[in-house]
């Protein structure tokens, strides 16, 4: 796996902070019209606060 930089860091869908590659990170995957969408979150708190 390649090292990432701040420029390509994924942002938390809820708070906008960069999502770190840790065990706290959460990802929600959905498929709509054949397209896969990924929503990334910092942790369970941000995921729990998210209102799609």
Tens of pLDDT along 37-51? 999 999 999 999 998
Residue of 1 and 23 predicted with greater confidence:
23
- Rounded to whole angstroms, how far apart are CA atoms 10 and 19? 6
Q: Report whether pLDDT(52) > 50.
A: yes
- Rounded to whole angstroms, how far apart are CA atoms 23 and 29? 17
User: What's the count of helices (H) and strands (E) in the chain, helices before strands?
Assistant: 1, 2
Residue of 50 and 8 predicted with greater confidence:
50
Residue 48 · residue 42 · CB < 8 Å: no
Residue-level pLDDT at 51: 86
Q: What is the CA radius of gyration of the chain?
A: 12
- Rounded to whole angstroms, how far apart are CA atoms 48 and 51? 8
Q: pLDDT category, 1, cuts 50, 70, 90?
A: very low
Mean residue pLDDT across the chain: 88
């Amino acid at each position: 796996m390649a090292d990432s930089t701040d420029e390509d860091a994924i942002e938390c869908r809820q708070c906008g902070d960069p999502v770190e590659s840790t065990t706290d990170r959460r990802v929600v995957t959905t498929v709509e019209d054949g397209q896969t969408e990924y929503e990334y979150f910092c942790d369970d708190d941000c995921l729990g606060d998210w209102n799609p």
